[in-house]
Amino acid sequence: MNSIPGRRIIMVSFLIFLLLPIYWLVNMSFKTNTEIVTTMTLWPHQPTLENYKRIFTDESWYSGYINSLTYVLINTVISIAVALPAAYAFSRYRFLGDKHLFFWLLSNRMAPAAVFALPFFNLYSAINLFDTPWAVALAHCIFNVPLAVWILEGFVSGVPREIDETAFLDGYSFPRFFAKILVPLIASGIGVAAFFCFMFSWVELLLARTLTSVNAKPISAIMTRTVSAAGMDWGLLAAAGVLTIIPGALVIWFVRNYIARGFALGRV
Amino acid sequence: MDKTINQKAWFLVLPVFAVVAFSAILPLMTVVNYSMQDTFGNNQFFWNGVGWFKELLDPSTDLGGRFLASLGRNLLFSAIILAIEVPLGIVVALSMPREGWTVAVCLVILALPLLIPWNVVGTIWQIFGRPDIGLLGYTLNSLGIDYNYVSNEFDAWATVIVMDVWHWTSLVALLCYAGLKSIPDAYYQAAQIDGASRWAVFKAIQLPKMNRVLLIAVLLRFMDSFMIYTEPFVVTGGGPGNSTTFVSIELVKIALGQFDLGKAAALSLVYNLIILIVCWVFYTVMTNAGTERPEKKGAA
């Protein structure tokens, strides 16, 4: 009853549409540049691991992955840590200016990164954080913290208020209640929020590129280096691209059972 | 659920306020400051008042012409991708298998494009669409369709739109799927007893249940497409000519390319203001929808 005619065909063709461009990238990453440029082959006829080998042995390449993961992790931790108490406050209490504050937070999630690129550059240069993972991690907070508050607020609201009251009657102090009772109850919500913070910080390029120059350069910025005087190194570019997809794919695999609810931001 | 009034809650919100204010209010003040001044390099600034804003909104000047043209292109782009992604997302959500291992497989593949860095998304489509080495470009050209996104405006637009559909339809689909999952089986059984048609079930049961998530989807998709930068920049670089130069691309060109701080700052403020207004409209609609059906909230 709740299905539509031809749903299998629709689903399969949509999945093929999603996978085909990714397959092409993977396909190219196993080819040599000669094969890429000279022939049109649906799969690598002379498969090579040369492209991957170059990335894993050249420090200027693999350090990009480490830099990216560093600021993504810092950002996720900061976002969740500050968002948790705020989500609780928004869910349980009314206070002066709460609605305005919530809207203001949300509006920052929507602010275009391009607007902030230049002022962030000035700001982080002024406080000597330019070209460190911290600069990027803090800059990404502008859209991840509001998002984390938004998601967690939905999950905290799902916890019945009686649980708080019982805990306080039993003599729990507020921090202890928070750590021992609330956090375990909304563990899946925290997972979902962390997933989203990871996702949006991992995919962002404009701010990450603007706020770094040498030491903290993210992998996505390093990838542009494949354009050289000798022409485009397509195989290397493809291999680097495939490697940026892997962390995301791993994260999705771990949260696959929460994806559906997570994408509704806890408020279906 | 009644909330108690407690002003001490501000202490819980304070960390968030501090972090976001640090990265939002401080930089924004710099932008406001720049927007009123002109610079000739060497950190020398001259007061320009509202000059940039006047120029920005006047299509006969260079700056105004560029801004309004990119704004028009961006609105058109957002309208097209919303018109494609929302219905397609609903259809895909309705086509999800109901149970078994295929559900997990479908969900993982659907979510995959969302976690690819945006410039890699651009790279994927840049390669995929190339007539010489890309499967799509090669196939189209061997079918006799003259397709080249580098030189042809229409092809560039088509590529950017298909890329966005590829990238983001999953988000709409996953949101709708989450909405559909929350419908109890009893609803469908009741509809079956009443002899409701497939269309009637969709209109009376499924669509209302997806209402809220659809609003979130439209809000997120509008906002993100309105500030799209990386993907079209990687694929087309804003070209051919200026045909795919959206507002963010224009802004970065002026700010980081020409270092025209005053112009860029004025553009940023107007840009932000538009976003803020649209965001406010959505927010009001959304909170109102929430109060009408309080049982929907917090069912997590």
Q: Has residue B7 been placed in a domain?
A: no
Give me the DSSP letters along A135-194: HHHHHHHHHHHHHHHHHHHHHHHTS-HHHHHHHHHTT--HHHHIIIIIHHHTHHHHHHHH
Domain containing B160 equals 29-37+44-296
Query: A119 and B299: CB-CB below 8 Å?
Result: no
- Nearest in space to A200 (alpha carbons), one of B1, B230, B127: B230
A chain contacts of residue B249, beta-carbon cutoff 8 Å: 114
Mean pLDDT for the stretch of residues B77-105? 89
Q: Which of A24, A32, A118 has the highest number of chain B CBs within 10 A, making it the mutation to test binding with B? A: A118
Query: B133 and A268: CB-CB below 8 Å?
Result: no
The pTM for the full model equals 0.84
Higher pLDDT: B49 or A21? It is A21
Q: Is the pLDDT of residue B204 over 80?
A: yes
Q: Hey, which bits of chain B come out as E strands? A: 4-5, 37-39, 45-47
Kindly state the DSSP code that residue B41 receives in the 8-state scheme. Answer: S
Q: Percent of chain B having pLDDT more than 90?
A: 11
Instruction: State residue A37's pLDDT score.
Output: 75
pLDDT tens readout for residues B269-289:
888 888 888 888 887 887 776
Q: Count of residues for chain B?
A: 300
Instruction: State residue A240's pLDDT score.
Output: 87
Q: What six digits make up the tokens of A82?
A: 């500050």
Handedness of CA A245, A251, A253, A258 (dihedral sign): negative
d(CA A199, CA A144): 10
Q: What six digits make up the tokens of B159?
A: 């590529």
Using CB atoms, pick whichever of B27, B127, B136 lies closest to residue A25.
Answer: B127
Higher pLDDT: A62 or B73? It is B73
Kindly state the DSSP code that residue A182 receives in the 8-state scheme. Answer: I
Query: A4 and B94: CB-CB below 8 Å?
Result: yes
Instruction: Provide the 3-class DSSP secondary structure of residue A228.
Output: strand
**Residue B135: what residue type?**
L
Q: Has residue B230 been placed in a domain?
A: yes
Element (H, E) at A233: none
By C-alpha distance, the chain B residue nearest A156 is B298
A67: contact with B, CB 8 A cutoff: no
pLDDT tens readout for residues B207-238:
887 877 888 888 888 888 988 888 888 888 87
Share the mean pLDDT of chain A. 84
d(CA B83, CA B85): 6
Q: Is the pLDDT of residue B106 over 60?
A: yes
d(CA B136, CA B240): 19
Strands A227-228 and A93-94: unpaired
Instruction: State residue A2's pLDDT score.
Output: 53
Instruction: State residue B298's pLDDT score.
Output: 41
Residue A26 C-alpha, separation from nearest chain B C-alpha, in angstroms: 10
Cβ count within 10 A of residue B59: 12
Q: What six digits make up the tokens of B23?
A: 């990265």
- Nearest in space to A79 (alpha carbons), one of A195, A228, A214, A1: A195
pLDDT band at B300 (very low <50, low <70, confident <90, very high): very low
Residue B60 C-alpha, separation from nearest chain A C-alpha, in angstroms: 24
Q: Is the pLDDT of residue A36 over 50?
A: yes
pLDDT band at B297 (very low <50, low <70, confident <90, very high): very low
Lowest mean pLDDT: which of A196-210, A212-226, A245-259, B121-135? Answer: A212-226
Evaluate whether A149 touches A90 at the Cβ level (below 8 Å). yes
Mean pLDDT for the stretch of residues A99-121? 83
d(CA A106, CA A98): 12
d(CA A30, CA A153): 45
What is the fold of A58-263?
Answer: MetI-like fold (1.10.3720)
Mean pLDDT for the stretch of residues B196-212? 83
Evaluate whether B296 touches B212 at the Cβ level (below 8 Å). yes
Residue B120 C-alpha, separation from nearest chain A C-alpha, in angstroms: 6
B chain contacts of residue A203, beta-carbon cutoff 8 Å: 114-118
Instruction: State residue A268's pLDDT score.
Output: 42
Backbone angles phi and psi of A92, in degrees to 5: -105, -30
Cβ count within 10 A of residue B68: 14
Number of domains in chain B: 1
Q: Give B130's contacts (C-beta < 8 A, 6+ positions apart).
A: B137, B138
Instruction: Provide the 3-class DSSP secondary structure of residue A48.
Output: coil
B chain contacts of residue A256, beta-carbon cutoff 8 Å: 104, 107-108
pLDDT band at B291 (very low <50, low <70, confident <90, very high): low
Burial B116-137 (b: 16+ CB within 10 A, else e): bbbbbbbbbbbbbbbbebbbbb
Residue with structure tokens 């993982």? B108
Cβ count within 10 A of residue A62: 15
Using CB atoms, pick whichever of B6, B206, B223 lies closest to residue A110.
Answer: B223
Q: Is the pLDDT of residue B299 over 50?
A: no
Query: B256 and A117: CB-CB below 8 Å?
Result: yes
Evaluate whether A79 touches A141 at the Cβ level (below 8 Å). yes
Q: Give the CATH number of the domain where residue B70 resides.
A: 1.10.3720.10
Kindly state the DSSP code that residue B48 receives in the 8-state scheme. Answer: -
Q: What six digits make up the tokens of A110?
A: 């929507």
**Residue A94: what residue type?**
R
Q: Has residue B284 been placed in a domain?
A: yes
Mean pLDDT for the stretch of residues B167-181? 88
Q: Which of A110, A121, A156, A174 has the highest number of chain B CBs within 10 A, making it the mutation to test binding with B? A: A110
Residue with structure tokens 């000798």? A230
**Residue A230: what residue type?**
A
Evaluate whether A19 touches A12 at the Cβ level (below 8 Å). no
Instruction: State residue A38's pLDDT score.
Output: 76
pLDDT tens readout for residues B254-263:
877 777 777 8
Q: Has residue B120 been placed in a domain?
A: yes
Q: Count of residues for chain A?
A: 268
Mean pLDDT for the stretch of residues A70-91? 93
Q: Is the pLDDT of residue A135 over 50?
A: yes
Cα maximum dimension of chain A: 76
Q: Is the pLDDT of residue B89 over 50?
A: yes
Residue with structure tokens 């925290």? A190
Cβ count within 10 A of residue B39: 15
pLDDT tens readout for residues B239-252:
787 888 888 888 88
Give me the DSSP letters along B197-217: -HHHHIIIIIHHHHHHHHHHH
Q: Percent of chain B having pLDDT more than 70?
A: 92
ipTM, 2 decimals?
0.83
A85: contact with B, CB 8 A cutoff: yes
pLDDT tens readout for residues A138-153:
999 998 999 899 888 8
Q: Has residue B274 been placed in a domain?
A: yes
Evaluate whether B166 touches B113 at the Cβ level (below 8 Å). yes
Domain boundaries defined on chain A: 1-48, 58-263
A chain contacts of residue B176, beta-carbon cutoff 8 Å: none
Q: Is the pLDDT of residue B55 over 60?
A: yes
d(CA A259, CA B31): 38
Kindly state the DSSP code that residue B42 receives in the 8-state scheme. Answer: T
Instruction: Provide the 3-class DSSP secondary structure of residue A231.
Output: strand
